[in-house]
Copies of this chain bind each other. A is one copy, B any other.
C-alpha cells in the first residue's frame, strides 16, 4: 500500500533543491536570472517530487487564473456544441481552461452563471446567446470582467461582440428563392421575446419580401412558441394542425434547421413532395442537413469560427492587446442542397 503523500508545494521543492522559494518560482516562471546550475537542480527536484504549481494559489497572488467562462443556452444543442468546440480549440492552444454553464434560455439562470464565474475569478467571460436584456450585461460590466458577446446584438457599441448578420442572411434566402421563381414564400419561427437573432431573421424575411415587392401574407407565416429547437415531434404536430385549413406557399424558410426538418416531416406526412411541391430552407447548416432526405438547403452560420473569433477577441482584451475592431461581423453563406428547387 502506497502511502498517501500530500501534493508537494513550492517550499518542498526549495527544500529538496536547497534553494530559496523565490528561486524555484523564478525557475518555474522562466525568469532568466537563475544560474544554469541551480536551474538544473531545481528542475530535478520538480521532476523528483512530481511537482506542479497550484493554479489556485498563483491565481490568488497574480489576479489571473488562465480560466475563461463560457455561457451558452444549451450544451446539448449541436449548434452550440460546435461553437464551443471552436472555443475549446483556441483556448486550449493559448493555455486557457474553459469553465462553462448553461442557461437553458433563462435570463435568470444566465445571471446566476455570471455571478458564479465572477466568484471563480475567471479572466474573461463569453456570453453566447441572442438575448435582449441589458441587466446581465450591466452586471458583468459592474464586476469589471473582460467579456465579449457572441451572437447577441446590443446597441451599446462599447461592448466587443462577434456577430452574424442574421437579417441579411434571411434576406438573401428570400432573394435566392425568388431567383428560383418562388413568389409565395412562407416563414417558420418561434416567437421572439428576448432573442435578437431570431427577431433579426424575421426582419430579414420581411425586408427580403419588400425588396422583391412581394406582399407579406400572414397565412404563410407560422409563429409558434411551442416549436422546439431540440426535437421535431412537437414541431411536426403543430404544423399538421396548421396545414389543415390553409393554402400553402411554394417555399418555406425556417429560422432554424431542426424545425425545418420537422417541417419536412410534417409535409411528408401530408403527402407533399419536397422539393417538387414545396421547397424548404433551414438555417444554421448543422451537420444533419447532409444526413436527411432530401438533404436540406441551409444557411451556413459560421459556428466554429464564431467560437474561435470570440475567444481570440476575448483573450486579446484580457491580455491587453490593442483591439482593431470591437465589433466583428462574420459572413453567412447559402448552402444549396436537395430541398430547394425551381417552382
Q: What is A's interface to B at a CB cutoff of 8 Å?
A: 4-5, 7, 50, 52-57, 59-60, 65, 67, 74-78, 81-82, 84-85, 88, 92, 97-102, 115-116, 118-121, 142-144, 230-233, 258, 261, 265, 268, 287-288, 290-293
Contacts and interface: CB of A to CB of B under 8 A. Distances in A.
13 contacts: A54-B119, A54-B121, A56-B60, A56-B65, A67-B120, A76-B82, A76-B84, A77-B81, A85-B102, A88-B101, A88-B102, A97-B101, A288-B292
A290 B262 CA distance: 10
Nearest to A258: B291
B291 A232 contact: yes
Contact of A101 (B92, B230, B290): B92
Instruction: Give the top 10 A-B pairs by smallest Cβ distance, nearest first.
Output: A76-B85, A81-B81, A293-B293, A99-B99, A55-B119, A76-B81, A55-B120, A56-B121, A56-B59, A261-B291
Nearest to A233: B290
How many copies, total?
A: 2
Contacts of A265: 291
Given A53-B119, A78-B78, A100 B102 contact: no
A81 B65 CA distance: 26
A76 B100 CA distance: 14
Nearest to A95: B116
Contacts of A100: 88, 98-100
A147 to B, nearest CB: 15
Contact of A231 (B55, B118, B287): B287
A120 B101 contact: no
Nearest to A74: B85
B97 A120 contact: yes
Nearest to A100: B98
Given A56-B65, A99-B99, A292-B293, 10 more contacts: A4-B144, A55-B119, A67-B99, A75-B75, A75-B84, A75-B85, A76-B82, A76-B84, A97-B101, A265-B291
Most interface-central of A57, A76, A99, A231 (chain B CB within 10 A) = A76
A79 to B, nearest CB: 10
Contacts of A77: 81
Contacts of A142: 50
Given A97-B101, A102-B88, A118 B81 contact: no
B55 A57 contact: no
Contact of A7 (B56, B57, B143): B143
Contacts of A55: 119-121
